[in-house]
Amino acid sequence: MKKKINTGMVLVAVLGILATMVMLMAVFYGMFRRQMMADLRIYALLLQEESPEELMLTGNNMQKERVRITMLDAQGGVLYDNRTDSADMENHGLRPEIRSAMEDGEGQAIRRSATLDKSTFYYAVRLADGRLLRVATEAESIFSIVGSILPSLLWIGAVLLLLSLLLAHHLTDSLLEPVKNLADHLGDGVEITYYEELEPFVRTIQKQHSDIMENARLRQEFTANVTHELKTPLTSISGYAELIETGMASGEDVVRFAGGIHQSAQRLLYLINDIIRLSELDSPREESMTERVNLYGLAAVCVEMLEVSAGKHNVHLRMEGSTCYVQGNRLMLEELLYNLCDNAIRYNVEGGLVQVDVHREQEQVILTVQDTGIGIPKEHQERIFERFYRVDRSRSKSTGGTGLGLAIVKHIVARHQAQLKLESSPGKGTVIQVFFEAET
Ligand code: ATP
Ligand code: MG
């Protein structure tokens, strides 16, 4: 980028210098020509007052000054010329300056001389008696003028070029300074000034940066949590096993301890399953989200499956609504339904009710899972969707929860571009709603 800007600037400078020089030459030469003609015109005006004898005298004098004087009759025949014998000269009636003078009273022309480096300037005027007076002088042509000043021009050009090189270098540096600064301090929170044109770019990068940091933090936290969660059941497995190994347990105790080992092992399995599921949902691998799924049908199947579990908890399950289609991934939706219903059953009360409803409202399909359970205190409501977060650790542990269910739900909702809503009051119950875009 630096090189590009630099080259660009130098190129512009070189073009600028060349164009300026060419234009200046053209302007100067134009001025020079006009000045020449103006001088000739003054000569002619002065000379036209002179008598033929005076004219000859002046003509002789002017020869030294390289001014040529010609007097012609009204038809263009040469009467007098201070350079050549007039008798040898042909009729000049067709020369452009003479023609113009015959017609309009005055005329001018510039003709290249035999040698390329000279031009002759002619000015002719018609006198009161019809005769024509022509004054001419030779001057350097534009080519020889250019030729003679070319060396100085080249010098000036070279100096200008050098200056513009230095300037371009300096300018490029100062142009790029804020960008470089930006790159150096993007992440460290130092306030820096940069071009407002870079604003969107900077915002994107800074957002990405903080996202990456946040992700890293979450991952670290997650790893710490996982380790901790794995440790608890493993410690109890190890403890029970040690008791059996050392023979400290006998008969009935062995059976009880084996039960403990079994439960802890089961818990580990659930945990690992959930972790695998979460990391699957985390990975950018695109699972197909394009299935047309009857959410009502899926919920009904889920409710049926959980009937046994509900019976165990002495909780009533009720399914309501009608067939509604959403676009998404069937397996994920199944998991979402299972997790929500499972919570509604597990965190319910003896003889409680769980009501699942799927219905359509305008462009939305709304899934509602409502329970008459223990509810969630306000201060926990934000956090229950975090990984491993449980309101009452001892209670959910006794029911075997790992605190990953709602984290998975949140993920699945996001993947379906749906919205989640939670309403809960302790002792009364909880309503969780998911709003999907309806599929026709
Ligand atoms: P998992 O679902 O992974 O087996 P879990 O049920 O403990 O474990 P989540 O489903 O994420 O984890 O729920 C987090 C916590 O939120 C639960 O421990 C519980 O305290 C609370 N919670 C979830 N659903 C309800 C509900 N319907 N009523 C009351 N509390 C709930
Ligand atoms: Mg759960």
The pLDDT tens digits for 322-339 are 999 999 999 899 999 999
Region label for 233, one of left (φ > 0), alpha (ψ between -120 and 50) or beta (otherwise): alpha
Q: What is the pLDDT of residue 192?
A: 73
> In the prediction, which pLDDT does 398 show?
60
Pairing of strands 118-126, 132-140: antiparallel
For residues 88 and 106, the model is more confident at 106
pLDDT of residue 400: 65
- Pick from 225, 275, 396, 425 the residue to mutate for probing ligand 1's pocket: most ligand atoms within 8 Å of its CB: 396
**One-letter identity of residue 176:** L
pLDDT band of 285, cuts 50, 70, 90: low
Taking CA atoms only, the protein residue closest to ligand 1 atom 18 is 390
Determine the distance separating the centroid of ligand 1 and the alpha carbon of 240, expressed in angstroms.
28
How far, in whole angstroms, is CA 203 from its chain's centroid?
11
3-state secondary structure of 431: strand
CA distance 17 to 295: 75
* DSSP result, 164-225: HHHHHHHHHHHHHHHHHHHHHHSSS-------GGGHHHHHHHHHHHHHHHHHHHHHHHHHHH
Ligand 1 atom closest to the CA of 400, numbered from 1: 4
> Residue 292: left (phi > 0), alpha (psi -120 to 50), or beta?
beta
What is the mean predicted confidence (pLDDT) over 292-314? 94
pLDDT exceeds cutoff 90 at 320: yes
The residue whose C-alpha atom lies closest to atom 23 belonging to ligand 1 is 343
Q: Are 395 and 405 a contacting pair, CB within 8 Å?
A: no
Report helix, strand and coil shares of the chain as percent, to nearest 5: 60, 20, 25
> pLDDT at position 159, please?
92
Range with top average pLDDT, 90-99, 251-260, 359-368, 380-389: 359-368
> DSSP class of residue 70?
E
388: left (phi over 0), alpha (psi -120 to 50) or beta: left
Number of neighbours of residue 346 by Cβ within 10 angstroms? 20
Alpha-carbon span 386 to 408, nearest angstrom: 9
Residue in 406, 408, 424, 430 to alter for ligand 1 test, most ligand atoms within 8 A of Cβ: 406
Model confidence pLDDT, tens digit, residues 170-203: 988 888 888 888 778 776 767 777 778 888 888 8
The predicted model gives 375-404 an average pLDDT of 82
Report the atom number in ligand 1 closest to the C-alpha of 393. 18
Identify the pLDDT of residue 126.
93
Matching residue, tokens 């998404």: 328
Determine if ligand 1 sits within 6 Å of the CB of residue 376: yes
Which segment, 4-8, 50-54, 141-145, 417-421, is predicted with the most confidence on average?
417-421
Pocket test for ligand 1, best of 266, 274, 343 (most atoms within 8 A of CB): 343
Q: Of 38, 102, 56, 55, give the one whose Cα is nearest residue 75.
A: 102
CB 404 less than 6 A from any atom of ligand 1: yes
Q: For residues 79 and 203, what is the distance between their CA atoms, to the nearest angstrom?
A: 89
How large is the angle between the packed helices 330-346 and 295-305, nearest 10 degrees? 40
- 345, 347, 369, 425, best to mutate for ligand 1 pocket (most atoms within 8 Å of CB): 347
- If you average pLDDT over every residue of the chain, what do you get? 88
- pLDDT, greater one: 245 or 249: 245
Both structure tokens of 319: 């399914």
- Domains observed in the chain: 2-145 (3.30.450.20), 201-282 (1.10.287.130), 291-437 (3.30.565.10)
Q: How far is the CA of 291 from the centre of ligand 1 (A)?
A: 28
Contact status, residue 358 vs residue 297, Cβ threshold 8 Å: no
Cα 143 to ligand 2 centre (Å): 95
Percent of the chain at pLDDT exceeding 90: 45
Is there an atom of ligand 1 within 6 Å of 392 CB?
yes
* Lowest-confidence segment of 34-43, 55-64, 205-214, 371-380 by average pLDDT: 55-64
Q: Is 341 in the pocket of ligand 1 (CB under 6 A)?
A: no
Residue 54 token pair: 């005076």
Over the stretch 10-62, which tens digit does the pLDDT of each residue have? 899 889 989 988 898 889 888 988 998 999 999 888 888 888 888 888 888 87
- Residue 230 structure tokens: 């794995």
For the Cβ of 336 lying below 6 angstroms from any atom of ligand 1, the answer is no
Mean pLDDT score, 300-321: 94
